[in-house]
């Protein structure tokens, strides 16, 4: 581990106060580039997330021959329709990004050329069978070179046909991969999910001229569609905001105003969880931007109590469980998280990572097969590692702001995956981090 990859986070000496805006939503940024790349015409994307995962998506489409230029947080994609995608001259590197690899699999399965998708060690360890199985049913020729349905993946483009697919997992990546395959295949594709996963694909495709129907947990799409260019304004990322909301809740004397955050109901589980714990969070100026609900959030430090979280709420808060677990460690009473087995196949095994690190920081925590039991009461200082997982790193950094002593966190470089400016903002708001000398 490089020394510069380690940070000391000291307890905040006063409340976290400020007025902030955050980078664009990661999930929406991925989709905006992908849809623009297969659309005809120049699409302008504003407030694009600058994180490593989104950079992987831009690079992937550049490798496929699409002209994409980025100026600050504005991205211009010069789409030439489906035919604008060309056989890549090299392996497409999806980096750490599951969304890039899974959605691209659906998109490339129906293109008339071969491609190979790879990623870093974390992405190579993640399950790809969940997209390979339905895509094969649609006629795709997709092979796992890594074995056991793991990347690298080799895709020989085929002409695809529609299917009815009942997904065993609630996964927006699986759903979106199938919809992107269905969009270019023959006939009708229907995807059913056990619980509705985030619906950014369904909301954004119509803006690019795509037609689909949503009925409860089922999405239906017809094949043979062409998309046209569009202008997209990406809302602020609630998953990034959640770290600052969590920090403001547990550092006494805090008051934070966060502007322009995406409040899609398939994503707002974290707000409901925090509010059920007793958090003071108010939504102000609700509005709609490019088919997505957006609002400002006012959060104040609060006395929190432990709660039980499970079921569909978990799906709507899946990426926020790391910060929820940290906040729960500062609540009164016990928090029980169940039905979160999907966390075992994220960028790290997040249940194991959270149980290990919170224990090292003095929490009473136990790991369930599908969740965590966390006794509140606060955290001590200590030395912990991020498991090279951006959301674990940021959640533990927030823990450091409210712990009784400093936390030395190893492996902070990974925050670049979703939130390159995270530590700059923490510093601006608190002045309490410094590199480990
Ligand atoms: C995402 C979907 C979710 C989420 C991930 C981003 C997306 O994953 O956890 O961070 O952009 O579609 P699953 O599709 O595996 O649920």
Instruction: Say which residues have a Cβ less than 8 Å from residue 71's Cβ, sequence separation at least 6.
Output: none
Q: Is 173's C-beta closer than 6 angstroms to any atom of ligand 1?
A: yes
How big is the chain, counted in residues? 437
Q: How far is the CA of 231 from the centre of ligand 1 (A)?
A: 23
Determine the pLDDT at residue 108: 98
Q: What percentage of the chain has pLDDT greater than the value 70?
A: 98
Taking the complete model, does pTM exceed 0.95, yes or no?
yes
How many other C-beta atoms can be found within 10 angstroms of the C-beta atom of residue 369?
9
Q: How far is the CA of 172 from the centre of ligand 1 (A)?
A: 5
**Ligand 1: which residue has its CA nearest to atom 15?**
171
Catalytic residues: 319
Ligand 1 probe mutation, 318, 343, 390, most atoms within 8 A of CB: 318
Q: How far is the CA of 174 from the centre of ligand 1 (A)?
A: 9
The H or E element that residue 280 is part of is strand 280-289
Q: Which of 239, 281, 334 shows the shortest CA–CA distance to 24?
A: 239
**For residue 432, what pLDDT band results from cuts at 50, 70 and 90?**
low
Q: Is 197's C-beta closer than 6 angstroms to any atom of ligand 1?
A: yes
pLDDT at 2 over 50: no
Radius of gyration of the chain (CA): 21
Q: Walk me through the domains of the chain, giving residue ranges and CATH numbers.
A: 6-24+235-435 (3.65.10.10), 26-219 (3.65.10.10)
- Region 6-29 average pLDDT: 96
How does pLDDT run across 71-119, given as a tens digit for each residue? 999 999 999 999 999 999 999 999 999 999 999 999 999 999 999 999 9
How does pLDDT run across 179-230, given as a tens digit for each residue? 999 999 999 999 999 999 999 999 999 999 999 999 999 999 999 999 999 9
Residue 259: strand pairing partners: 21
**For residue 4, what pLDDT band results from cuts at 50, 70 and 90?**
confident
How does pLDDT run across 263-292, given as a tens digit for each residue? 999 999 999 999 999 999 999 999 999 999
Q: Are strands 334-337 and 231-233 parallel, antiparallel or unpaired?
A: unpaired
Query: How far is residue 233's CA from residue 255's CA, in Å, rounded to a whole number?
Result: 27
């Amino acid at each position: 581990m490089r020394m510069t990859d380690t940070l000391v986070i000291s307890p905040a000496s006063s409340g976290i106060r400020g007025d902030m805006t955050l980078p664009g939503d990661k999930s929406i940024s991925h989709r905006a580039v992908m849809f623009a790349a297969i659309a005809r015409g120049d699409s302008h994307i504003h407030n694009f997330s600058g994180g490593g995962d989104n950079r992987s998506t831009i690079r992937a489409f550049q490798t496929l021959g699409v002209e994409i230029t980025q100026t600050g947080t504005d991205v211009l994609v010069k789409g030439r329709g489906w035919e604008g995608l060309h056989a890549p001259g090299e392996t497409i590197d999806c980096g750490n990004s599951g969304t890039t690899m899974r959605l691209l699999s659906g998109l490339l399965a129906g293109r008339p050329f071969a491609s190979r998708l790879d990623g870093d060690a974390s992405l190579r360890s993640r399950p790809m069978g969940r997209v390979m199985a339905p895509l094969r049913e649609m006629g795709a020729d997709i092979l796992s070179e890594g074995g056991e349905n793991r990347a690298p993946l080799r895709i020989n483009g085929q002409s695809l046909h529609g299917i009815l697919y009942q997904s065993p997992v609630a996964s927006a990546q699986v759903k979106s991969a199938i919809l992107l395959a269905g969009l270019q295949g023959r006939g009708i594709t229907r995807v059913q999910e056990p619980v509705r996963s985030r619906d950014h694909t369904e909301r954004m495709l119509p803006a690019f001229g795509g037609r689909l129907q949503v009925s409860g947990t089922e999405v239906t799409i017809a094949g043979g569609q062409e998309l046209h260019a569009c202008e997209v304004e990406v809302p602020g990322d609630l998953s990034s905001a959640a770290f600052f909301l969590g920090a403001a809740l547990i550092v006494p004397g805090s008051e934070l105003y966060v502007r322009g955050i995406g409040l899609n109901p398939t994503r707002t589980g974290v707000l409901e969880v925090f509010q059920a714990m007793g958090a003071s969070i108010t939504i102000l100026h609700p509005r709609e931007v490019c088919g997505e609900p957006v609002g400002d959030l006012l959060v104040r430090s609060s006395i929190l109590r432990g709660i039980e979280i499970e079921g569909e709420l978990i799906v709507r808060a899946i990426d926020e469980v790391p910060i929820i677990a940290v906040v729960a460690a500062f609540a009164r009473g016990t928090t029980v998280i169940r039905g979160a087995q999907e966390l075992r196949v994220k960028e790290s095994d997040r249940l194991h990572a959270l149980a290990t690190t919170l224990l090292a920081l003095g929490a009473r925590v136990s790991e369930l097969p599908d969740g965590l039991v966390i006794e509140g009461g606060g955290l001590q200082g200590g030395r912990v590692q991020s498991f090279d997982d951006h959301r674990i790193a940021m959640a533990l950094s927030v823990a450091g702001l409210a712990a009784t002593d400093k936390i030395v966190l190893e492996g902070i470089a990974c925050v670049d995956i979703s939130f390159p400016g995270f530590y700059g903002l923490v510093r601006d708001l608190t002045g309490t981090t410094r590199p480990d000398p």
